[in-house]
Each structure stands twice: as structure tokens, then as C-alpha cells.
Amino acid sequence: MTTTWRELGYLTPELVVLLGAAAVLLLDLFLPRGRRRVLGGVALVPLGVALGWVLRALWAQSGGPSQLHKVFGALLLRDPYSLGFDVVFLVAAILGVLLSLRYVEREALPAGEYYALTLFAVFGMMMMAMSAELITLFISYEILSLAVYVLAGIARGRAVSAEASLKYFLLGAFASGFLVYGIALVYGATGTTVLYDPLGQSASTISGLILERGLFGNALLLAGLALLVVGIAFKAAIVPFHAWVPDVYEGAPLPVTAFMSAGVKAAAFAAFARLLFGGFRNLGEVWQPVLWVLAVLTMVLGNAAAIRQQNVKRMLAYSSIAHAGYLLVALAAYTARDVAIGSVLYYALTYTAMGVGAFAILLVVGQEGEANQELSDYRGLASRHPWAAAAMGLFMISLAGFPLTAGFLGKFYILNAALRADLDGLAVVLGLASVVSWYYYLRVVWFMYMTEVPKAAVRPISRATSLGVAVAVAALLVIALGVFPSTALAVAQMAGHTLLPLGY
């Protein structure tokens, strides 16, 4: 079992991001304090390079036969599925860094550590999406978690940020205790930690052994799976493991919240889908009802809580729970196979664009700080700042799932998967939940376009170029994914196909 240079080459984007983190840390030492703002720009370089590599690799495979490489034995899989999720993480990170450039400077956050930890977190996400083995998955999960705990509390001057960090940390460490216990029990039941072998060469994997030894009703294995689900559901902010979400999302610095709500959630779902579809697909009849219940709870409670919020940041935090519920619907529709996985990937990318875009507008309206996040601050925004209002309107109707936006197609494909899997009830709940969400998303649009505000109360908005670029990129993505979905969708479908083992 030797790892060749060629194999390491498959890890190029991950290694680039990791080296980028090291470079940012080193540069931070040598730059005088006044020059540290360039570190954000430095952090964008590895992210951009990695994104370019990933897109090229995906492009090379679209249309042709898809490629799948095992790296480090079978610990990692470089397949279109992991490449697809890498796109999501890198887009979230690039937008997150763009959102941070002015914020970090203004709030006098430690730039070197901030960007280095962001890059570490992205590295952890990318490794999570590739992991096909539970020990590797756990370590990657911890890289991501530790970096994000610190990022949540990085605004040391603000008490809420420190408290957000503490709450996230304690509950996160608690959840990772369940995760490792789950891994231990699964290992105890099967004697291996390798999830599956997509090429069907080895039978001594969890999925292979479940079949071979008929472990369908094995209590140890089922208990292990349940604990694993708890650990990941926590990271993905699934009800009832969501108690940390509102306070942490509200307390963390805004750009970090934007990055977390898109990236961390996508990483959790990337690992979740590989775990369930790869390792435990033969137990689908056992975990599908559980996901069904979790999906309904998450959609209903997420929307019910979001509807009551007057603060836009809190509203987006709660509604992100609801979006996790929509993704769960796709996972529950496992009998739709590659359609289900493809819709998870597509929706993750869509949510990243529209969710981070909406958070970017919060920064624009709040003048790059944590102020002005009440709904009333959006009063008459359209007449004062038509472009900002138009972009916010776009993100809102996309989040609400209106036609011609990415959000609509994302939900459409999830519904499609649910109907193919004969989950009609779940599809109905999803539809109703979306209708409810129209209320609180459109309320923002109403405030921007249909209300007026006296001239004296007009507040300026931020005109920072970096924020403008972030908003423009997010808006373009939302429109492009909504109007020309075919390429992205074909790639997502192919990615879904390669996640599944041969002959399934």
C-alpha cells in the first residue's frame, strides 16, 4: 500500500488550500500591522486556484466517462461527488472572504488568524467530502469544527461573540462524543471502518459486511448508526439538534455566519450522503423513516421559528434550518439514487449562492458592521438604493423558491426525487413549508419596495468594492443556476452516479 506522487496529485486542491493557510500564517508574522489587510487577498489565491483545478477536473469528465480514484488505500475517494462539493465549499469560502475584507479591518479582527482558520475550515470540509473511512471522516470533522469554534468567537471585544463560541464549542464537543461512540460501535459490529468500495474490489467494508454477514438487525450496528446520525445532524443543524443555531448564528461575526450557514452545512450533508448511500445503503429501510421524521420536524420548526423574527439576521439563521430540512428530504428519497444525490449537490450550491448573497446584503445595509439588521431598516430601501434592493429581492425570491431562480429549480429537483421515491407525503410537506416561507421572505421585499421612509431617516449604505463583487457574484450564480441549469445539473447527476457503488 504505497502512496505515489500521482495519488497525491489527486489531492491538489486540498493541498493548495492547506499550503495557503500556512502561507497566510507566515506572512502575518512578517507584515507590519498596517499592511495586514492584504492577507485577505492572499487567502483568495489558493481558494481561486483550487476552484480552477476542481472545475477543470469536472469539465474534463463531463460527457466522458467519470473518473474515480482511491487515494491512501481506500481512505479517500477522488470522485465527481467530492469535486462537486468542493465547488460548493470553495464558492462559500470565496464569498465569505470577500465579505470579510472590510469587516475584519473595521472591527480590527486579527487578520492572519482569521483567514488562516477559514482556510483550515475549508480544508476540513474538502477532506470530509472525500472521506470514505470513518477515522478520516472524524479527524476532518474535527479540523472543520475546531476552526469554526474559534472563528465564531474571534470578535473578542464583543461578549455575544465569545458566548456564541462557548455554546457552539460545548454542544459541538458533546455531539462529537456521540459521533465517535457511533464510530466505535460500528467498528465493533463489523471490524472495519471503511464505508464502502465503489469499485466493488473489496468485500471487507461496512456495506460489504452488512450483506455478507447479514447484519441487518444487529443491535450494535444500528445503535452505532443512530449515534453517527446524531453527531452529523448536529453539524447540519437538523431539528432536534439545532438548539445552538440561533444564538451562534446571531453572536458570530456576520461573515462567519454566512460562511457557516452555507459551508459547514454543506460539508455535513456531503459526509451524511456518503455515509448513508455508501456505507449503510443496505439499511436504507431502517434509516429512511428516521430521516422522514427529522425532515418534517426540521422543515416545520425551522419555518415556524423564522416567521416570528423581526431581526433579519435571526430570520436568515432560522430559515437556514428549514433549508437543511429540504436537503433531508432529498436524502430520505434514497431509492431515487443518483437523482436524490444530484439534487442534494445542486441545492447545496444554490443555497450557498443565495444564502451568502443575502448575508452580504446585510453587511451592505448595516454598513459593514453588526448594526441595522432589523426589518424596519429595510424600509424604503428600493427608492434610496435600487441596486442593493434589487439584489436582496432576488435572493429573497430565490430563497422562497420562485420560478426562474435557482431556489425554484433546487426545490423542484428535490421534489422530483421525493416523488420518484414515492415519498408523496414528504413532498407535500415540502411544498407547504415553502409556501409558509414566502411570508417571511416576501415581507423583506415588501418593506424594501412598498414602504417609504422620511428623508431625514435615510441611512447611507456601504459601497465597498469587495462587498459589491460578492453580491454580484452571488446574484449571477443565482440567475445562472436558475436560467441555465443544465450543465450544473448534469454534473450533479454524474456526481450522484459515482457516489453509488457499482451495480447499485
Total residues contacting other proteins by CB under 8 A comes to 59
Please report whether residue 286 would count as binding other proteins according to CB under 8 A.
no
CB of 40 to other proteins, least distance (A): 17
Helices (H), 451-485: 465-483
Q: Which is nearer to other proteins, 259 or 334 (CB)?
A: 259
Please report whether residue 3 would count as binding other proteins according to CB under 8 A.
yes
Question: Which listed residue (9, 41, 52, 188) binds other proteins by CB under 8 A?
Answer: 188
Q: What is the dihedral of CA 322, 328, 332, 338, to 10 degrees?
A: 130
CA atoms of 393 and 442, how far apart (whole Å): 8
CB of 486 to other proteins, least distance (A): 36
Of 337, 324, 328, 365, nearest to 460 (Cα)?
A: 365
CB of 398 to other proteins, least distance (A): 31
Cβ(160)–Cβ(249) under 8 Å? no
Please report whether residue 15 would count as binding other proteins according to CB under 8 A.
no
Options 99-107, 185-193, 230-238, 279-287: segment touching other proteins (CB under 8 A): 185-193
Please report whether residue 149 would count as binding other proteins according to CB under 8 A.
yes
Residue recorded with cell 414515492? 422
CA atoms of 362 and 346, how far apart (whole Å): 25
Q: Which is nearer to other proteins, 135 or 390 (CB)?
A: 135
Concatenating the DSSP letter of every residue in 86-137 gives: HHHHHHHHHHHHHHHHHHHHHTT--HHHHHHHHHHHHHHHHHHHHB-BHHHH
Please report whether residue 419 would count as binding other proteins according to CB under 8 A.
no
Q: Which is nearer to other proteins, 129 or 418 (CB)?
A: 129
Q: Which is nearer to other proteins, 46 or 410 (CB)?
A: 46
Options 70-78, 289-297, 395-403, 461-469: segment touching other proteins (CB under 8 A): 70-78
CB of 336 to other proteins, least distance (A): 32
Site for other proteins in 151-170 (CB under 8 A): 153-154, 156-157, 159, 162-163, 165-167, 169-170
Q: Give the angle 59-95-251 at the CA atoms, nearest 5°.
A: 140
For residue 197, the 8-state DSSP code is -
Q: Which is nearer to other proteins, 176 or 303 (CB)?
A: 176
CA atoms of 113 and 29, how far apart (whole Å): 11
Question: Which listed residue (193, 298, 350, 466) binds other proteins by CB under 8 A?
Answer: 193
Cβ(269)–Cβ(280) under 8 Å? no
Q: What are phi and psi of 399, to 5 degrees?
A: -60, -35
Pattern 220-259, other proteins, x by CB under 8 A: x--x-------------------x---x------------
CA atoms of 429 and 322, how far apart (whole Å): 12
Question: Which listed residue (26, 38, 45, 173) binds other proteins by CB under 8 A?
Answer: 173
Q: Which is nearer to other proteins, 146 or 426 (CB)?
A: 146
Q: Which is nearer to other proteins, 38 or 243 (CB)?
A: 243
CB of 159 to other proteins, least distance (A): 4
**What residues are paired with 78 via a beta bridge?**
69
Q: Environment class of residue 156 by beta-carbon count within 10 Å: exposed (0-12), middle (13-18) or buried (19+)?
A: exposed
The SS3 of residue 2 is: coil
* b/e burial code for range 77-87 (CB count within 10 A of at least 16 → b): bbbbbbbbbbb
Pattern 108-137, other proteins, x by CB under 8 A: --x--x--xx--x--xx--x-------xx-
CB of 218 to other proteins, least distance (A): 8
Please report whether residue 29 would count as binding other proteins according to CB under 8 A.
no
CB of 143 to other proteins, least distance (A): 5
CA atoms of 141 and 121, how far apart (whole Å): 9
CA atoms of 392 and 261, how far apart (whole Å): 17
CA atoms of 206 and 133, how far apart (whole Å): 9
Please report whether residue 180 would count as binding other proteins according to CB under 8 A.
yes
Please report whether residue 177 would count as binding other proteins according to CB under 8 A.
yes
Concatenating the DSSP letter of every residue in 59-90 gives: HHHSSS----EEETTTTEEESHHHHHHHHHHH
Q: Which is nearer to other proteins, 183 or 409 (CB)?
A: 183
Q: Which grid cell sits at 291?
A: 430521516
Q: Which is nearer to other proteins, 221 or 349 (CB)?
A: 221
Residues contributing to the site for other proteins (CB under 8 A): 1, 3, 18, 25, 72-73, 75-76, 110, 113, 116-117, 120, 123-124, 127, 135-136, 138-140, 142-143, 146-147, 149-150, 153-154, 156-157, 159, 162-163, 165-167, 169-170, 173-174, 177, 180-181, 183-185, 187-189, 191-193, 218-220, 223, 243, 247
